C-alpha cells in the first residue's frame, strides 16, 4: 500500500460516494417509512395487476415483516444497482483510465512496485464499497428504529447486508479485473460495465419466471439471496461465501495481470 496514492484516490472517490450516499439515503428513508399494513395492501394490489413487472425488479407480494418488506422493495433494485454503478465508475477510473491516458507512466516510473500500485487501487475500490455498505446498514437501522422501534432485528439486517457486501465486492472484482486486463478504455469500460449490467438484466429476466428462469445460472446475482440470508439458510450463506471467494480470486487475478502486462505508455 502506498499511503499517498491511497489518499489521493480516496479523495477522488468522495464525490461519487456523496452522490450515491445521498441517493441511497433518499430511497431508504422513503421506502422504509412506507412500511404500513395499508400501504402493503396497495403495493400488493400493484403486484396483482402487473406481477411480471414487479417481480423483474425483485419485488414480491406478501412481505409481512419489516425486513421482508425492505428486502422486497430495496434489495431488488436500489441497493443492487447504485453500488454497482459506483463499482463500475471507480473500478475503471483506478487503473484502466490511467493506462489509456498514459498518466499511469507517472505511477510506474517511480520506485513503487506494480503490485503495490494495484493493491492500493484495489483497497480504494474496496474501501468505497465497504463505506457504502456500512452507511446503508447504519441508515437502514436508524430509520427503522426511529419509525418502527424494535421492528427490525439487527442480526438479520447485518446478515443480509454482509451478503450484499459480498455481492458488491464480487461485482467490483469484475470491474477491477477488466480495468487491469485491458489497456484500451473501450474494452476496460466495455467489459467492466457490460458484464455486471448484463448480469443484472439476466437477473431481471430470471425473476420474471417461466422459461427465462434458467437465466439465473448465468448471473452472480443469483448467489445473493436476501430472504434466505434473513432466514439464516445455509444455502444463502454459502452463496454469499461463494461471492466473497470469487471476489478474492478476481482481485488476485487483476493484480497479477497488471504486474505482468506490457504498458505502452
For residues 87 and 238, the answer to whether their CB atoms sit within 8 Å is no
DSSP state of 64: -
Name the residue with cell 483506478.
94
Residue nearer to other proteins on the CB measure, 211 or 260: 260
Rounded to 5 degrees, what angle do the CA atoms 19, 98, 261 make? 130
Residue nearer to other proteins on the CB measure, 131 or 263: 263
For residues 207 and 225, the answer to whether their CB atoms sit within 8 Å is no
Residue nearer to other proteins on the CB measure, 10 or 61: 10
- Least CB distance from residue 105 to other proteins, whole Å? 5
For residues 68 and 230, the answer to whether their CB atoms sit within 8 Å is yes
- Least CB distance from residue 98 to other proteins, whole Å? 8
- Rounded distance between C-alpha atoms, residue 86 and residue 96, angstroms: 15
Residue ranges binding other proteins (CB under 8 A): 2-5, 8, 12, 101-103, 105-114, 260, 262-265
- Least CB distance from residue 83 to other proteins, whole Å? 23
Residue nearer to other proteins on the CB measure, 42 or 103: 103
In terms of DSSP H, where are the helices of 34-184? 37-49, 51-56, 66-74, 78-91, 97-101, 104-108, 114-147, 154-181
- Least CB distance from residue 260 to other proteins, whole Å? 8
Residue nearer to other proteins on the CB measure, 155 or 262: 262
Residue 255 cell numbers, joined:
493484480
- Rounded distance between C-alpha atoms, residue 250 and residue 247, angstroms: 5
Residue nearer to other proteins on the CB measure, 98 or 170: 98
- Least CB distance from residue 103 to other proteins, whole Å? 5
- Least CB distance from residue 36 to other proteins, whole Å? 46
Collapsed DSSP state (helix, strand, coil) of residue 36 = coil
Rounded to 5 degrees, what angle do the CA atoms 50, 71, 147 make? 110
Amino acid at each position: 500500500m502506498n499511503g499517498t496514492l491511497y489518499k489521493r484516490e480516496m479523495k477522488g472517490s468522495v464525490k461519487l460516494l456523496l452522490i450515491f450516499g445521498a441517493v441511497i439515503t433518499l430511497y431508504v428513508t422513503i421506502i422504509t417509512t412506507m412500511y404500513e399494513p395499508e400501504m402493503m395492501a396497495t403495493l400488493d394490489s400493484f403486484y396483482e395487476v402487473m406481477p411480471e413487472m414487479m417481480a423483474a425488479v425483485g419485488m414480491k407480494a406478501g412481505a409481512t415483516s419489516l425486513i421482508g418488506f425492505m428486502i422486497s422493495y430495496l434489495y431488488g433494485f436500489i441497493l443492487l444497482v447504485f453500488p454497482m454503478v459506483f463499482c463500475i465508475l471507480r473500478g475503471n477510473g483506478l487503473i484502466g483510465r490511467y493506462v489509456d491516458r498514459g498518466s499511469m507512466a507517472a505511477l510506474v516510473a517511480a520506485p513503487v512496485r506494480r503490485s503495490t500500485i494495484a493493491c492500493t487501487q484495489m483497497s480504494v475500490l474496496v474501501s468505497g464499497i465497504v463505506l457504502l455498505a456500512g452507511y446503508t446498514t447504519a441508515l437502514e437501522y436508524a430509520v427503522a428504529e426511529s419509525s418502527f422501534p424494535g421492528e427490525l432485528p439487527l442480526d438479520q439486517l447485518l446478515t443480509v447486508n454482509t451478503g450484499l457486501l459480498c455481492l458488491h465486492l464480487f461485482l467490483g472484482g469484475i470491474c477491477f479485473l477488466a480495468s487491469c486486463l485491458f489497456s484500451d478504455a473501450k474494452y476496460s469500460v466495455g467489459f467492466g460495465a457490460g458484464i455486471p449490467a448484463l448480469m443484472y438484466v439476466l437477473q431481471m429476466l430470471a425473476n420474471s419466471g417461466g422459461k427465462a428462469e434458467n437465466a439465473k445460472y448465468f448471473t452472480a446475482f443469483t448467489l445473493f439471496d436476501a430472504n434466505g440470508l434473513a432466514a439464516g439458510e445455509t444455502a444463502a450463506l454459502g452463496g454469499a461465501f461463494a461471492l466473497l471467494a470469487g471476489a478474492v480470486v478476481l482481485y488476485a487475478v487483476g493484480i497479477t495481470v497488471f504486474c505482468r502486462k506490457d504498458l505502452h505508455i
